[in-house]
Amino acid sequence: MQYPNSHSFRTIFVVPVVTALYLIVNWQACAEPVAGDLDGSGAVNAVDVQMTVNSALGLSTGYSGDIDWNGITDAVDIQLSINAALGIVIDTDGDGLCDAAEANLGTRPDVVDTDNDGVGDGQEILDGTNPLSADAALVPGVVGMTQADAESAIVAAGLTVGAMAEEYNESAPAGEVTGQNPTAGTAVSSGTTVALTVSKGPDPGPNGEGGTWTRTFGGTGQDQALSIKTTPGGGYMVAGSFEPPYPSTSSSAVYALQLDSNGQKVWSSSEYGGATGGTRFITGDWANDVAVLSDGSSVFVGARLLKFSSSGEAVWERYLGEEVQWSVAETPMGMSVAAIPAGGFMVAGLGYAPTTTKQTDFITRIYVLRTDENGHEIWSKLIGTDFVSVAYTIVRASDGSYVVGGLSMPSFSSADLVLIDIDTDGNILWQRSLKGEGGALNLKQTLDGGFIIAGGDLTRTDAQGQKLWARSYNDEIGGRVTITSVAVKGAERFAFAGYVAWPDGGTKDMILGLTNGQGDLQWWKHYGGDNIDVAKSLALAPDGGYVLAGNTSSYGNGGSDVYIVKTDANGNASSMPTTTAK
C-alpha cells in the first residue's frame, strides 16, 4: 500500500479535523448504529475505518467512504467511522432526529429506494435536496402512548395499524403501548403495517393473588380504618378504631389489623388473645396512623404509641407526653407517625398551649415529638400561634428531614394549609402557610423534591413548600369531592383517594383518581353502595394496583364497618365486598 508524502497527509487530515471536532461536539447521540460497515462484515471495525481512510486518501477501496454524503470522503467520515466502531452514534443527516435516516447511509438492500434511482443508498436521507417521495414514510415512535393515540399517530403517518399483541407489564399501565414493529424512524413504503404490543398492566398472579378484592371488617358498632400501609411480606397493615363489645363501656378501642396480599385477616387487636395470646383490647383510644418496620413489626399512634410484633403481640405502650408529666386532659394526640432509619420515631399531631387546658378554650398547637426505638421521648415541641393549629401528617424527605403538614385557623372563618420542615434535632428548617387552602390531611414527596398534598383539594408545591397549583375535581366528577390521601405513582403521575358527596344529599362513595403532573384528571372510579362509604387512606399495591381503606355503612355487619378496596392498575375492583367479623 502506498501513502502520500507527509505534506499531503497533513493537508488531508489536519484541516478537515476542525470540521470533525465541530460536528462531534454539536451533533447529538442516537440510539442506532451509524452506517459504516463498508466491508459487509456485519459490524463496524478497524477494517472499515482503514477503508474510509483509504478512500479519503484517494486510494481505491471498491466502496464509498462518504458516510455523511457531502460529496467527498474527508476527516468527518473518518471520525464517523471511528465513532461507529466505538459504538458512538450521532445525528449524521443533521435533521435533529436520531432515526432510521441514519441507517440509510451507504448502499444497503434493506433500505427502501424512496428516490427511485434503483438503489437504497444515502440519497434517501431527508437532507432537503433529496426529500422522500410521496410513496414513502417514516414510522412514528408510539411506545409509551395509549393504544388510541398510537393508532392515530400511525394513521396520520400514512401507515396501517396491524396486529396487536397484549402482555402483562409491571411498569406500564394497561392500555399503554410497550412495543412496535417496525421500530420508530424506520423508512417504509406508505401503507406499511405497524404491529403493536400493548400492556395489560401488572400480572395478577396465580389464583388471583394480588388481583382485585373488596373486604369489610367489623361488628354492629362504629368501626373505621384511618390508615393503611404495605408490609414487607406483601400484605397490608391497617390502623383505625372499633367499638368494643359488652362488657366494655368504652366507645372506642385501638384497631390494628394485618391482612395478607389477598385481604385475608392475619391478626387483629380486636381479638382477646390475638394470634399468639399477646394482644388485648386497648380502649379509650384509637390508631390514627401506623409505621411498618423492616422486620414486619408496626407502631401505631393515637394518644399513645403502641408497638406490635409481626405476629400481633403487644411489645410496648407509651402515652405521648408522659415523660413531661402532662395531665390526662392535656395529653397530646398523635395523628401521624414516621420511622427514623437510624432508630426511633417522629410523631406529629396536636397539643395544648401551656396556658390553657383542654376543657376551657380548646386552643391547640401543632405537636411534634421524637422518640427513641422504644418510644421514649427525646424531645417534643409545640408550634403555632393561631387560634387553632393541628398537624395531620408527617413524612420523611429525601434529605433526611421531616415535613409536617397540617392546618392553622387564625379565626373560625378561615383555614390555612401549613407545611413545616423540621430536622431530627427539632430545628425548623422552613415553614409555609398557604392562605385559604384548607389543610394538609396527607402528603407525599414527589420525585422532583416537591410535595403533593391532600387537603380536600389536591395541591402541589416545590421543594420549599411554595404552591405550584391546586385543583378541585367537583365539576369533573359531578359531586363535592374531598381528597383525603395521595400517592406518587411516577415522575409525573399522582393518585388520590377520598370520597364524593353526590347531589342527592345523602350518599357518599369512595373515590380513586389518577392525575398527570399538572393535576389534570386522567381517570377516576368510585366504590360503594346506597349509604356512606369513604376512603381515609391510600396505598400503592406491590402489583401496581391501589388499596383504599376507610369505612362503609352500605355493607358489613351493621353500623359502620372497616372498608378495604383493592383495585388493579386502572382502578377496577370487585363490586361486592366479602364481610368478616372484626
pLDDT (tens digit per residue) in 146-171 = 888 899 899 988 899 988 888 877 67
Please report the pLDDT score of residue 27 as a whole number.
37
Confidence of residue 453 (pLDDT cuts 50, 70, 90): very high
Computed on alpha carbons and rounded to an integer, the radius of gyration of the chain in Å comes to 32
- Residues 395-424 have a mean pLDDT of 92
Please report the pLDDT score of residue 210 as a whole number.
47
Please report the pLDDT score of residue 17 as a whole number.
35
Give buried/exposed letters for 22-31 (b at 16+ CB in 10 A, else e): ebbeebeebe
Whole-number Å distance between alpha carbons of 550 and 552? 7
Confidence of residue 202 (pLDDT cuts 50, 70, 90): low
DSSP, collapsed to helix, strand or coil, labels residue 509 as strand
Please report the pLDDT score of residue 483 as a whole number.
97
Please report the pLDDT score of residue 11 as a whole number.
35
Break the chain into its structural domains and give their ranges. Answer: 6-105, 136-199, 223-319
Q: Where are the beta strands (DSSP E) in 193-270?
A: 193-199, 213-217, 224-230, 236-242, 253-259, 265-268
**Which residues is 430 bridged to in the sheet?**
421
Whole-number Å distance between alpha carbons of 85 and 19? 20
What is the rounded average pLDDT for all residues in the chain? 79
Lowest mean pLDDT among 176-185, 204-213, 226-235: 204-213
Lowest mean pLDDT among 30-44, 45-59, 187-201, 220-234: 30-44
Confidence of residue 107 (pLDDT cuts 50, 70, 90): very low
The string of pLDDT tens digits covering residues 460-482 is 999 999 999 999 999 999 999 99
The topology (CATH level 3) of 136-199 is Trypsin Inhibitor V; Chain A (3.30.10)
Please report the pLDDT score of residue 300 as a whole number.
97
Please report the pLDDT score of residue 21 as a whole number.
33
The grid coordinates of residue 235 equal 400484605
Lowest mean pLDDT among 49-58, 103-112, 480-489, 562-571: 103-112
Confidence of residue 110 (pLDDT cuts 50, 70, 90): very low
Q: Is the pLDDT of residue 490 over 90?
A: no
- Residues 200-208 have a mean pLDDT of 56
Q: What is the dihedral of CA 417, 418, 419, 420, to 10 degrees?
A: 180
**Higher-scoring residue by pLDDT: 356, 576:** 576
Please report the pLDDT score of residue 203 as a whole number.
62
Q: Is the pLDDT of residue 106 over 50?
A: no
What is the secondary structure of 411-437 as a DSSP string? ETTEEEEEEEEE-TTS-EEEEEEETTS
Please report the pLDDT score of residue 447 as a whole number.
92
Q: Is the pLDDT of residue 293 over 50?
A: yes
**Higher-scoring residue by pLDDT: 18, 96:** 96
**Higher-scoring residue by pLDDT: 574, 83:** 574
- Residues 298-318 have a mean pLDDT of 93
**Higher-scoring residue by pLDDT: 280, 449:** 449
Positive or negative, the Cα torsion across 144, 147, 148, 151?
positive
- Residues 556-562 have a mean pLDDT of 89
The grid coordinates of residue 81 equal 467511522
Please report the pLDDT score of residue 163 as a whole number.
81
Q: Is the pLDDT of residue 410 over 60?
A: yes
The grid coordinates of residue 278 equal 399477646
Please report the pLDDT score of residue 113 as a whole number.
54
Confidence of residue 286 (pLDDT cuts 50, 70, 90): confident
Whole-model pTM: value is 0.64
The string of pLDDT tens digits covering residues 1-40 is 333 333 333 333 333 333 333 333 333 444 334 456 776 6
Tell me which range, 32-46, 70-84, 107-121, 258-272, is most confidently predicted by mean pLDDT.
Answer: 258-272
Q: Is the pLDDT of residue 204 over 60?
A: no
Tell me which range, 279-293, 345-359, 385-399, is most confidently predicted by mean pLDDT.
Answer: 385-399
Please report the pLDDT score of residue 20 as a whole number.
35
Confidence of residue 228 (pLDDT cuts 50, 70, 90): very high
Confidence of residue 229 (pLDDT cuts 50, 70, 90): very high
Please report the pLDDT score of residue 25 as a whole number.
34
CA atoms within 13 A on the CB side of 285: 27
Longest dimension (CA), the chain: 108
Lowest mean pLDDT among 146-160, 235-249, 450-464: 235-249
